[in-house]
Amino acid sequence: MLLYLALVAVSLLGNSAAVRVDVDTSKARDLEGFGRQIKKTLEDWYPYLSYLMYSPTFEDVPVINIYFDPDYKRIAYASGNRIVGAVDYYRQNQQGVGSMIHEMVHVIQQYRNTPGWVTEGMADYYRYYRYENRKLSKPTTDNNHTNGYGVTAFFFNWVDQNKPKISGQSMLYWINKDAREGNYKDTIWTRFYRQTVEQVWQEMMRRA
């Protein structure tokens, strides 16, 4: 239902885009069914996610290539328009579609010269809060905005939901725009909010 409403909204706004996802399971034939599921899911979700992450320098990706590698021992990674998934991991985790959404976000990001916490936090934000429609647990006092992944995703979602829009756009739009242009600096927070990113984090920890 969430995807249907999202795609209707994108269609009405006239900013939808299509992608072809090619999946190579030649080294893991037992993952062919999972590969078909990944192909359909990513092709369905690419228009919505690319719309949410749009900025003036964004260039649509016509093809995403996915390869399941028996020699890769972690989970997955993205480079350019290519995603590599670990055969051993996905044999045991065929509900792990969200991790492939995370990697597709990296393909869409096209970030340059951007801190890893921003890149990974944004990818998990779109995975958990947009694709999975899931609320993450509040970070602890041992955490920091620079932890990346789910910790930073929680922070970004709180900023999106609670901090003022700038020229009608969420702060996430401006972070995404600067990161894609290779211009992200932490000074964006003081420029827009007259608070450092650390101060916004502390505000979130008090109020969330």
Q: Does 195 lie in the same domain as 120?
A: yes
Q: Does 126 lie in the same domain as 201?
A: yes
Structure tokens, 64: 């995403």
pLDDT at residue number 13: 46
pLDDT at residue number 75: 97
Element (H, E) at 150: helix 149-162
pLDDT at residue number 12: 43
pLDDT at residue number 176: 98
Q: Does 102 lie in the same domain as 6?
A: yes
Q: What averages of pLDDT result for each successive group of 10 residues across the chain (208 residues)?
A: 53 67 98 98 97 96 98 97 98 94 98 98 98 97 98 98 98 98 98 98 98
Q: Does 122 lie in the same domain as 100?
A: no
Among residues 68, 86, 109, the one where a domain terminates is 109
Nearest to 17 by CA among 67, 56, 63: 63
Q: Does 139 lie in the same domain as 90?
A: no
pLDDT at residue number 96: 85
Q: Does 130 lie in the same domain as 103?
A: no
Question: Residue 66 belongs to what domain range?
Answer: 2-109
pLDDT at residue number 7: 54
Nearest to 128 by CA among 137, 115, 117: 137
Residue 117 CA neighbour count, 13 Å, CB half: 14
Amino acid at 69: D
Q: Does 88 lie in the same domain as 178?
A: no
**Angle at Cα 181 formed by Cα 83 and Cα 41, nearest 5°?**
30
Q: Does 76 lie in the same domain as 131?
A: no
Q: Does 94 lie in the same domain as 132?
A: no
Q: Does 30 lie in the same domain as 51?
A: yes
Q: Does 58 lie in the same domain as 13?
A: yes
Per-residue DSSP letter, 167? T
pLDDT at residue number 120: 98
CB atoms within 10 A of CB 125: 25
The total domain count for the chain is 2
CB atoms within 10 A of CB 204: 20
pLDDT at residue number 17: 78
Per-residue DSSP letter, 166? B
Q: Does 100 lie in the same domain as 27?
A: yes
Among residues 93, 109, 125, the one where a domain terminates is 109
